[in-house]
Structure 1
Amino acid sequence: MNEIMEDPSPLTEPPAFLFDLDGTLIDSVYQHVIAWRNALAEMEIDLAVWRIHRRIGMSGGLFVSALIRETGVDLTAEQAERLQKAHAREYLRQHGSVRPLPGAADLLATLSERGIRWAIATSGRRATAGRALGLLGLPEDTPMVTRDLVRHAKPDPDLFLAAARRLGVHPSATMVVGDSVWDLLAARRAGALGVGLMSGGYGREELERAGAYRVYRDPLDMLEHLDELGVRGGAVIDP
């Protein structure tokens, strides 16, 4: 009986995971929506809440560009910068109501226990995103790439490419976990597999159309189905 020859260079490590933050690990999407609404109100700009929600997850600059297109309001560079600063201020005012999503801390802890590398890549700036570390019980040196560290935020791939470099892995060996179409579009452009979570308000079909390989309700649901993503017990499932 012929023996099956072993691949001379087998993949011996599990894939790395790159996590979005808002709506993926922490329940903060609607705080961001209200923060944008309040910031816009300061400038006497009226935009329906549902329209704001559809833009959460993209960079603040792209949000402002979309705002100009949808409302016809022409903002100067100074006004656009003031709007983004107002959003950050309003979000921090509401940060006390932000909570980790079900299973988020346990998911990250489980991955670490199994020797699976992971990082956080968020369109938020460190001043706001950094506060989530305490909510998740994570140390300050947790691998995290924020908007401040890259040229472009989502749907550009810069955040995920930088996070992969931080972990020392090729982007094609990562899985991006996010709650919005912007996360999944950025994942595709980075050459990573996308995993969608519905905890940010997007539906299964929207996430799948944007490129999600698997879709789960929230981090807890993902944790309970880690084997579907090709990992268990810290090892890649045999092909």
Structure 2
Amino acid sequence: MNLELTYPEPPTPAFLFDLDGTLIDSVYQHVIAWRSALSGLGIDLPVWRIHRRIGMSGGLFVTALLRETGLSLSQEQIEDLQWAHAEAYTEQLDSVRPLPGAAELLAELTARKVPWAIATSGRAVTASPALGMLGLPDDTPMVTRDLVRHAKPDPDLFLAGAALLRIDPRFAMVVGDSVWDLLAARRAGALGVGLLSGGYGREELERAAAFRVYADPADMLGRLHELGVRRLGG
């Protein structure tokens, strides 16, 4: 007797993308902007210490760095510091470029009818210009720091991104370049995919539970089949 088994249709894969260091080559501009903002308060930190915290929310970023130095700032000073960073970063926008393959990756996912959104720890004032760089419309699904209570490594951004796409975060893959992205992905119940384009090493990303690690968006685009993304009709 032939027994034909039937299975429920698997959920459509979906992607939640970090922005800085994942889709646009902006990590080091953010590092320099933070260094400039900190210097304005007489706080001198080496750039490597600053880089290790990029990807966190601005407030948590400042708190973590201050804890390392033993310094303390008022809440008002922390807010001023974040706006000083935003201004210093904006002054460097002309040097920010999309990462190789980023626009093409998003276009390919759209063509394959794969849902995706951007979820970034950056505020809208620093994140919004990236849409134009990537050739994306203003109504692109994007969650910024302004829209959630907590940013990475808390899961709020990715949970909000999943809600924006109307999907269960367990069926999403978070693509990010830092350990903070991957920690937030785990807390959201999503799979994490790491990119090396933000300066973290492969081993660091894998230890933070990256399911796959790619060099940059172009590398990921060429290997979408590894993530279960099929061609239309495939």
Query: Normalising by structure 2, what TM-score?
Result: 0.98
Alpha-carbon separation, structure 2, partners of 1:221 and 1:67 = 33
**Identical-residue share of aligned pairs (%):** 72
Alpha-carbon separation, structure 1, partners of 2:24 and 2:114 = 21
Q: Which residue of 2 aligns with 1:6?
A: 6
Query: What RMSD in Å do the two structures reach over aligned CA positions?
Result: 1.0
Give, in angstroms, the shift of residue 17 of structure 1: 0.3
SS at match of 2:12: coil
Alpha-carbon separation, structure 1, partners of 2:191 and 2:169 = 9
1:132-191 CA distance string (max 9 Å, x none)? 000000000000000000000000000000000000100001000000000000000000
1:71-114 CA distance string (max 9 Å, x none)? 11111111111111100000000011000000000000000000
Q: How does 1:39-188 map to 2 (within 5 A)?
A: 39-188=37-186
Alpha-carbon separation, structure 2, partners of 1:36 and 1:135 = 22
Give, in angstroms, the shift of residue 234 of structure 1: 4.2
- How many residue pairs get matched? 234
1:231 aligns with 2:229: yes
Which residue identity lines up with residue 3 of structure 2 in the other structure? E
SS at match of 2:160: helix
Q: Which residue of 2 aligns with 1:30?
A: 28
SS at match of 1:155: coil
Kept after mapping to 2: 8 A contact 1:116/1:234: no
Which residue identity lines up with residue 85 of structure 1 in the other structure? W
Alpha-carbon separation, structure 1, partners of 2:223 and 2:194 = 13
Alpha-carbon separation, structure 1, partners of 2:89 and 2:66 = 21
SS at match of 2:149: coil
1:102-135 CA distance string (max 9 Å, x none)? 0000000000000000000000011110000000
Alpha-carbon separation, structure 2, partners of 1:14 and 1:230 = 9
Gap regions ≥5 residues in structure 2: none
SS at match of 1:141: coil
Kept after mapping to 2: 8 A contact 1:122/1:145: yes
SS at match of 2:137: coil
Which residue identity lines up with residue 10 of structure 1 in the other structure? E
Q: Which residue of 2 aligns with 1:216?
A: 214
Moved beyond 3 Å, runs of 4+: none
Alpha-carbon separation, structure 2, partners of 1:159 and 1:188 = 12
Q: Which residue of 2 aligns with 1:205?
A: 203
SS at match of 1:232: coil
Alpha-carbon separation, structure 2, partners of 1:92 and 1:37 = 14
Gap regions ≥5 residues in structure 1: none
Worse-superposed segment, 20-29 or 68-77: 68-77
SS at match of 1:119: strand
